[in-house]
Amino acid sequence: MPPQTPLAQPLREQEDKRALWSWAFYDWANSAFFTIILTFVFAQYFSVSVMQNEVKGTEAWGNIVGISGVIIAILAPILGAIADQSGRRKPWFITFTLLCVASCAMLWTVTPDQDQFWKAALWVGLGTLGAEFAFIFYNSMLPDLASSERTGRWSGWAWGLGYVGGVLSLVVALYGFIETDANLFNLNRDEAEHVRATFVLVAVWYLVFALPAFIFIPDRPPTGLGLGAATRAGFVQ
């Protein structure tokens, strides 16, 4: 067994409110993905417009989400251990966030046709992996930012902001794009562009509101292990 490298120590000496609010608003950012893509809009669009059979579509959707969940369950502890060994969190956090953002944008290309199944499965699967893996590193940052007495309070603020952000993004999607009377962009409804545009909305929403977290949350210093060595040590851990 290779020698264990000491893990980086927490950064926090005193609370940085800007970093903490940036951390909390990330929950606002990514809740649009879970609300619009995984729950209300894309899930229904996939079953009704892509699969064109709500029963088979719901079954297929459950399989896609289930397979993504199995992959997450297997890889999440390994990725967390690798991050522990390398010290840094933000490169992982940013990479997986951008994976989800890009996947949401690519869902625009999923037209209402049955032959779009694999494209839809690919991008929604990658988006789910990106969002969930990013959340692993996001959650691990809080103890470095808040005192132990206040981690629960900041976690609660983020949770509340996430709910508000999810509801507000859904309202924007419904009344800014999907509802006929509120369609401001003259989108082609025959090609479901008014629905597909909400997937691009998620990408923009997620990226814009994640930027403060990218910029203002400090990272742990590296332990000195390269990616290869950190990966090997992470598997051992």
Q: pLDDT of 170-209, one tens digit each?
A: 999 998 899 866 556 788 989 999 999 999 999 999 999 9
Does some domain include residue 205? yes
Does some domain include residue 6? no
Mean pLDDT across the chain, nearest whole number?
89
Does some domain include residue 19? no
> Taking Cα atoms as reference points, which of 202, 165, 194, 203 lies closest to residue 45?
194
pLDDT in tens, 59-74: 999 999 999 999 999 9
Kindly state the average pLDDT of the residues 152-174. 96
Does some domain include residue 11? no
* Residue 123 and residue 146 in contact, taking contact as beta carbons nearer than 8 Å: no
Min mean pLDDT across 39-53, 71-85, 122-136, 162-176 is at 71-85
Residue-number span of the structural domain to which 193 is assigned = 26-236
Position 124 scores a pLDDT of 98
Using pLDDT thresholds of 50, 70 and 90, give the confidence band for residue 234.
Answer: confident
Q: What is the pTM of this model?
A: 0.89
DSSP characters for the chain? -PPPPPPPPP--SS--HHHHHHHHHHHHHHHHIIIIIIIIHHHHHIIIIISS-HHHHHHHHHHHHHHHHHHHHHHHHHHHHHHHHH---HHHHHHHHHHHHHHHHHGGG--SSGGGHHHHHHHHHHHHHHHHHHHHHHHHHHHHHS-TTTHHHHHHHHHHHHHHHHHHHHHHHIIIIISGGG--S---GGGTHHHHHHHHHHHHHHHHHHHHHHHHS--PPP-S--HHHHHHHHHH-
Between 6 and 182, where is the model more confident?
Answer: 182
Query: What does the CA dihedral 81, 82, 83, 87 come to, rounded to 10 degrees?
Result: 110
Using pLDDT thresholds of 50, 70 and 90, give the confidence band for residue 24.
Answer: very high
Domain with residue 206: its CATH number is 1.20.1250.20
Kindly state the average pLDDT of the residues 115-135. 97
Min mean pLDDT across 104-113, 142-151, 207-216 is at 142-151
Does some domain include residue 221? yes
* Residue 47 and residue 54 in contact, taking contact as beta carbons nearer than 8 Å: yes
How many distinct structural domains can be found in the chain?
Answer: 1
Instruction: Give CA separation, 188 vs 20, 27, 54, 123, in Å.
Output: 42, 32, 23, 22
Does some domain include residue 140? yes
Does some domain include residue 133? yes
**Type of residue numbered 126:** L
Q: Is the pLDDT confidence value at 220 over 80?
A: yes
Position 227 scores a pLDDT of 67
Kindly state the average pLDDT of the residues 6-26. 76
Does some domain include residue 15? no
Position 182 scores a pLDDT of 54
117-145 vs 17-32: helix axis angle to the nearest 10? Answer: 160
